Amino acid sequence: MAKFSSIKQHIYSKIASGEWPENHPVSSENALAQQFKVSRMTARRALQELSDEGLVIRTKGSGTFVAPIKSQTSFMAIRNIADEIRARQHDYHSQVHVLRKEAASDLVAEMLNLQPGETVFHSVISHFENDLPVQVEERYVNPSLASDYLQQDYQQLTPHEYLCEVSPLTEASHQIEAVAPSPQLCQWLHLVRPEPCLRIHRRTWSAEGVVTYAILTHPGSRFSLGGHLQFGAVPVTAS
């Protein structure tokens, strides 16, 4: 695991367990550098990424603190997309575009805490609601934590369902951005012309380590993101 990732994992666990509630002070760059035997720059990177994810708030002169719950989108539970669609009394089906093993790029290796070039599983699947695609799910999976990933029939179940069964998830983090779709995404999403899309980058962990890195892209006209947070409860995460 990269050194800055170890620091992030340490802070994730403190927040997820409730040991560090909202507004709790987070260790300083100097303290983290000494604790993990890394440079201050490495500690700063870890805290900055946590700030970018909305988990902590950094204030010049005051320090770093756990963000209020309303900002902690990384801990919002995410339901299985097939269940969400069927709950609306709509028809669900999927189309698999990519399902293979390949060598991890530098980015994917970093996201999965592997070495560049190591084998990973890669899938790209469109999820349909009433014959209209509402999400393209691109997912990279750590083979050591989901060895039969490529053998599943993803027209019968979703990656979410399989992964929750074989490698129960304990943590999740995600970042959200607006993007312009590529020509390939326009084809997969059945967009007649490009339109703004919402993209979610999500990493999920089990007790053994990072399980997946997923990139979920939705057409802006067919998707809205919301959630319900229960104050005082232990956050729940899912894939």
pLDDT (tens digit, 9 = 90+) per residue, 5-38?
889 889 988 887 778 888 899 999 999 999 999 9
Q: Per-residue confidence at 60, pLDDT binned at 50, 70, 90?
A: confident
- Residue 41: give its domain's CATH number: 1.10.10.10
Q: How many CA atoms lie within 13 A of 49 on its CB side?
A: 16
Contact (Cβ atoms closer than 8 angstroms) between residue 202 and residue 213: yes
Residue length, the chain? 239
Same domain, 103 and 65: no
Same domain, 116 and 179: yes
Residue 165, helix vs strand vs coil: helix
Q: What is the pLDDT of residue 59?
A: 82
Same domain, 209 and 92: yes
Contact (Cβ atoms closer than 8 angstroms) between residue 33 and residue 40: yes
For 148, the domain range is 77-222
Beta bridge partners of 198: 178, 218
Same domain, 84 and 24: no
Same domain, 51 and 148: no
- pTM for the model stands at 0.65
In a domain, 236, yes or no: no
- Residue 207: give its domain's CATH number: 3.40.1410.10
Same domain, 47 and 161: no
